[in-house]
Chains A and B, each alone.
Chain A
Amino acid sequence: MSTINVHYFASLREASGLSHEEMSFEGTYKELYLSLVQKYHFNLPPEMIMVAVDDEFSSMDEVIKPQGKVVFIPPVAGG
């Protein structure tokens, strides 16, 4: 199992009540996000989420890199 540091942005931070947390997970970023949807009742589908891994955008279909910093970023629209 690989430990990763998961960060939440904007509305995901509000819904989870956390800015970041450590966890262990194996699979793709999409699978990780779907498990978080279960846990925190995020209302956004994975197709609407961007993932950044170690400060680079990545594909949700990539397999999770061990020890990485993962940020889930929802779309933001105010102005």
Chain B
Amino acid sequence: MFSLSTTPISSELLTESLQNEKAGAIVVFHGWVRDHNEGKKVKSLEYQIYKELALKEGKRILEEAKKKFNLHGIMAVHREGHLALGEIAIWIGATSSHRDDAFKATRYVIDEIKYRLPVWKKEHYLHEKPEWVFCKDHHHHVHFSEKEFYSKQSALVNQDKLKNAKVLVVGAGGLGCPVLLSLAGAGVGHITIVDHDVVSLSNLHRQSLYSVNLVGEKKAIASSKKIQELNPFIHVEGISERVKLEHLQHDLMIDCTDNLETKYFLHDLCHKLRLPLISSSVYQNEGQIRTFIPGEGCLRCQSEVTPDDSLLGNCNDFGVIGAVTNTLGSLQASEAIKFLSTGENSTTTHTFYLNVADLSIMKVKNFKKEGCKTCAGEVQLEEHKVEVSGGMEILDIRNLTDEEVMALKPHNVALCCHRGIRSKKLAMKLQEEGHEVYSLKGGVSSL
């Protein structure tokens, strides 16, 4: 029926597959890569396709054609990736008893595909820089170009540096949402989102990438779709897991998590890998933000001790307002854009404290201790953790035997038993088998 192909299209094979003795006609349409567009010499082009949507929409178009016309068979294939001049970009074939239906159906399908399929075309010109063009409406030649997308900010940033940058955003919650929106809009070329949580109703008042219909969906996936829709000129990847070493092939990490254990883990990890980090936290009306450049001062310069989350509480305990997390997240994004564009920003030398209630600001000069091991990259990362204090889906195992839990092979959940002892033992076993499973610290009594 409808498919996408990364390899050259073979017209013979496709024609053969439509063979039908009842058919009196076959009409085949080839869309080719031509050597010019709107006065520019084209030497090759590249298609980027929003696959999930394209496959659904393509299938729908062919089904419509089958209803409208009297057909025996219909098939369409769209190419993706890099194509040379003269290659088949799209192949459509329709068979019918009488030629008129096949002609009309083919025409219908190509027009609808051009109009409705989420396909982006990057044209490589002979004498100019390549450009992405969105063929939203071929009838009227309305092209959305990448250059125009960024036209209002181009005087303020280094667009090429942003485009080449790879940024990892950990946490797609209250801070993560504004960070992701701003980075995607600014054109950060590669954005990876890591978050193992799902959207809940009590997130929506501050996490503007989500809506009621997304409750229960994975945040990493939902947020990556949303920002990809906002800016199709960038690459976005969503990973619904906890951060692992293999995720880290980036120029910058942005910490948007909400607990100290993870924040310190990311801080130490970045120092080990010499990866710059922009970190922010919010407490009621107050927020803080700092950029860490490994070797130039860190949290361990001040104290070796990792603070204990249980002494502090989190958003669930002390409350949080969307306007405040949005403000701090926007500052993180702004610091990231400055840093990626110019190599410097204001929160490298100073930690910035903002009180949104009275609009007071405090800037504190950062401190580097001579001989700090973390600054030198000599970091002993803590063991992969087993215990969590919430923030993920819970699986109650009180009425299940050990064997039953192991057989369930749970994924991305925290096991919960009476006191958190049996759940810890089982979570460790399941982790050894490669499952993303944790134990709720303290068990039911902590809920």
Contact = CB atoms under 8 A, between A and B. Distances in A.
Interface of A: 9-11, 43-45, 47-50, 52, 55-60, 71, 73-79
B349 to A, nearest CB: 10
Contacts of B286: 9-10, 76
A51 to B, nearest CB: 8
A49 B406 CA distance: 42
Given A79-B171, A79-B175, A47 B305 contact: yes
A10 B260 CA distance: 15
A78 B362 contact: no
Nearest to B286: A10
Contact of A55 (B257, B260, B363): B363
A11 B311 CA distance: 11
A59 B372 CA distance: 13
Given A9-B286, A44-B311, A48-B311, A79 B258 contact: yes
A71 B362 contact: yes
Contacts of B260: 75, 77
Contact of A43 (B282, B311, B325): B311
Interface string B60-76: 00000000000000000
8 contacts: A9-B353, A47-B305, A56-B364, A75-B312, A77-B283, A77-B314, A78-B284, A79-B256
B283 A57 contact: no
B184 to A, nearest CB: 19
Given A76-B288, A77-B258, A79-B257, A55 B309 contact: no
A14 to B, nearest CB: 8
B230 interface: no
B302 interface: yes
B145 interface: no
A36 to B, nearest CB: 16
Contacts of B311: 43-44, 48
Contact of B174 (A52, A56, A79): A79
A9 B351 CA distance: 14
A79 B173 contact: yes
Interface of B: 171, 173-176, 256-260, 263, 280-284, 286-288, 302-305, 307-309, 311-312, 314-315, 318, 320, 325, 328, 351, 353, 362-367, 369
Nearest to A52: B364
B366 A79 contact: no
B283 A48 contact: no
A79 B367 contact: no
Contacts of A74: 312
A71 B176 CA distance: 28
Given A57-B367, A58-B367, A79 B325 contact: yes
B312 A71 contact: no
Nearest to B261: A77
A77 B362 contact: no
A48 B307 contact: yes
User: By CB atoms of chain A within 10 A, which of B174, B305, B325 has the most?
Assistant: B305
Nearest to B258: A79
A48 B260 CA distance: 11
Contacts of A48: 303, 305, 307-308, 311
B315 A78 contact: yes
Contacts of B174: 78-79
Contacts of A77: 258-260, 263, 281, 283, 309, 312, 314
Contacts of A56: 364-365, 367
B305 A76 contact: no
Contacts of B315: 78-79
A50 B303 contact: yes
Contacts of A44: 307, 311-312
A57 B174 CA distance: 28
Nearest to A58: B367
Contact of A79 (B280, B302, B305): B280
A78 B282 CA distance: 5
A52 B290 CA distance: 15
Contacts of A58: 367
A60 B281 CA distance: 22
Contacts of A52: 362, 364
Contact of A76 (B282, B302, B364): B282
A71 B282 CA distance: 18
Given A48-B305, A48-B307, A79 B365 contact: no
Contacts of B307: 44, 48, 75
B372 to A, nearest CB: 12
A78 B364 contact: no
Contacts of B312: 11, 44, 74-77
